Structure formats: structure tokens, C-alpha cells
């Protein structure tokens, strides 16, 4: 049984897009984005992570059990971050310098 050779173009394109996003992230460092800074930077990082996961780590295709574990850690962190931050933001004197 001969399998069709897997095309490598998607990988190269993904790599190009990742490099582009890296450039954007570096550029954003020199812009005054104020409050939006972390959202831009982590947003770009999340996009890069998604491309790495979907293309390089071959998560493409119908959602499967792998998707659950791939996203599970990130999803679960939200509970730590979300519930944890409640303490600090509701303390008097927040934020401290």
C-alpha cells in the first residue's frame, strides 16, 4: 500500500506565519499600547501556540481526545488564574506599587 507523500508546504507556510507573528510581537514592544500591551503580546503568543499545535503537532482534523488534553492544561490554568486573582483584586490598597 503506497501512501501519498505528506505535503510539506503547510509546514513551511506555518513557519513563515510564525516568523511574521514574531516580528509583530517585537514591533509591538516599541509601540505605546498601555493597557492593551499584555493582550497584544499574549494574544500573538496564543496565535503562535495555536499554529504550532494545529500544524506542527498535527492536531488538525476532527476534535479528538488529544484535543481535550492539548487544551486541558490551558483551560485548567484559568481556574488558578481566575479564582486566585480574586484575593488580590479585592484587597484594600490594590494595586500596590
Partner 1 sequence: MTAIAADLPTSYLTEEHTIASWLLTKDHKRIALLFFASITFFFFIGGIGAMLIRLQLLSPYGLLLQPDMYNRMFTMHGIVMVWFFLIPSIPATLGNFLIPLMIGAHDLAFPRLNLGSWYVFNLSGLFLLYTLFVGGVDTGWTFYTPYSTLFANGHVIGAAVAVFVNGFSSIMTGLNFVVTIHRLRAPGMTWMRLPLFVWAIYAVSIVMLLATPVLAMTLALVALERFMGVGVFDPALGGDPLLFQHMFWFYSHPAVYIMILPAMGVASELIACYARRPVFGYRGMAYAIMGIAVISFFVWAHHMFTAGISVYAAVVFSLMTFFVAVPSAIKVFNWTATLHKGRISFDAPMIYGLGFVGLFTIGGLTGLMLATLPVDVHVHDTYFVIAHFHYIMVGGTVSAFFGGLHFWWPKITGRRYPEMWARGAAILTFLGFNLTFFPQFILGYLGMMRRYYAYPPAFQEWNVLSSAGASILAVAYALPLFYLGWSLLWGERASANPWGATGLEWSTSSPPPKENFARTPVVKAAPYQYNPEDGSFVSQDGVAHA
Partner 2 sequence: MASPMRSLAPEPQFATLEQQTETAQLGMWVFIATEVMFFGALIFTYYIYRLIYWEQFRLAAADTKILLGAINVAILLTSSLTMVLAVNAAKEGRQRALLVLLLVTAALGFCFLGVKGYEYVQDYNSSTVPSVNFLFKSGYHSPAELFWIFYFIATGFHAVHVTIGIGAILVMSWHARRGRFSPNYYSPLEVLGLYWSFVDTVWVFLFAAIYPLGRAIT
- First vs last C-alpha separation in the chain: 67
- Cα 26 to Cα 30: distance, rounded to the nearest angstrom: 7
Write the binding mask 36 to 65 for partner 2: x where contact by CB under 8 A, - elsewhere: -xx--xx-xx--xx--xx--xx-------x
Asked if residue 67 lies in contact with residue 51, where contact means CB atoms within 8 angstroms, the answer is no
Alpha helices in 30-64 (DSSP H): 37-51
- Cα 38 to Cα 46: distance, rounded to the nearest angstrom: 12
Q: How far is the CB of 63 from partner 2 (least distance, A)?
A: 13
Residue ranges binding partner 2 (CB under 8 A): 3, 5-6, 8, 11-12, 14-15, 18-19, 22, 25-26, 28-33, 37-38, 41-42, 44-45, 48-49, 52-53, 56-57, 65-66, 69-70, 72-74, 76-77, 80-81, 84-85, 88-89, 94-97
Q: Which residues bind partner 1 (CB under 8 A)?
A: 65, 72-73, 76, 79-80, 83-84, 86-88, 90-92, 96
Amino acid at each position: 500500500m503506497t501512501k501519498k507523500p505528506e505535503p510539506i508546504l503547510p509546514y513551511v507556510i506555518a513557519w513563515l506565519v510564525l516568523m511574521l507573528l514574531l516580528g509583530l510581537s517585537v514591533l509591538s514592544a516599541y509601540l505605546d499600547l498601555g493597557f492593551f500591551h499584555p493582550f497584544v503580546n499574549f494574544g500573538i503568543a496564543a496565535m503562535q501556540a495555536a499554529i504550532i499545535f494545529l500544524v506542527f503537532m498535527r492536531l488538525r482534523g476532527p476534535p479528538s481526545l488529544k484535543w481535550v488534553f492539548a487544551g486541558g492544561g490551558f483551560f485548567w490554568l484559568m481556574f488558578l488564574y481566575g479564582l486566585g486573582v480574586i484575593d488580590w483584586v479585592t484587597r484594600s490598597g490594590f494595586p500596590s506599587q
